[in-house]
Amino acid sequence: MRQQLPLTIIFVIGVFMALQYFVPHQSSEFIYEYALDWVIIIGVFAMALGLWSLFLVHFAKIQKKSAGWGYSTIAILGLVYMLIAGALWGIEEGSPFMKIFWYIYTPIQATMFALLAFYIASAAYRAFRVRNILSTILLSAALLLMLRLIPIGPLSGPIQDIDRWILGVPNLAAKRAIIIGVGLGIVATAIKVVLGIERSYLGKD
């Protein structure tokens, strides 16, 4: 019974929402919008659950004095401070919440992205080494696209035309193929969930 009830709810709601999409009526649109409101409410509870889980994980590390427990302390203090600051003083410009956001969080985020650039450059160096015909094509396309966006200004003429062709034909074809594959994967996963084949969301028990 503990598994049959959620499986039945998922099946009924999944089939109903799939069918209502093809019903051209105002009542169908109302049901869809009403369901979206419920999704937002569920998302809020999921966020609260995620915050509680984050707190428990870091609190356990602090209790056990595990490696990096000092960072866990900073994470919990930052979480508590931001929650209190946002609740008491709001999130308007100049508030304590926004000061922490602009003067601590934003510089940390910029630093992380700056470090990420070096990892991307290192990965690009390993990926673009000429080993066979495919890596040669990849390297040539990358060099042409980089020449289009060099700091001294984009190059015009044949290079620009080749770049447009690369972005508009092979790149767009590969992107569409990936999007179609992702879409088919989503549909297959949704069908498995609705039919009760995929039950990982029910937990191990």
Question: pLDDT tens for residues 37-71?
Answer: 888 999 999 999 999 999 999 999 999 988 889 99
Which residues, 6 or more positions from 151, have their beta carbon under 8 angstroms from its beta carbon?
A: none
What does the domain layout of the chain look like in residue ranges? 1-89, 92-127
Q: For the chain, which residues score pLDDT lower than 50?
A: none
CA–CA dist 34, 120 (Å, integer): 43
Residue 147's pLDDT is 74
Residue 151's pLDDT is 62
CA–CA dist 138, 187 (Å, integer): 32
Residue 154's pLDDT is 57
Runs of H (alpha helix) within 65-169: 69-89, 96-100, 106-127, 133-148, 158-168
**Residue of 135, 163, 162, 139 lying closest to 149 (CA atoms):** 163
Distance set, CA 45 to CA 36, 42, 164 (Å): 15, 5, 46
Residue 178's pLDDT is 96
CA–CA dist 165, 144 (Å, integer): 11
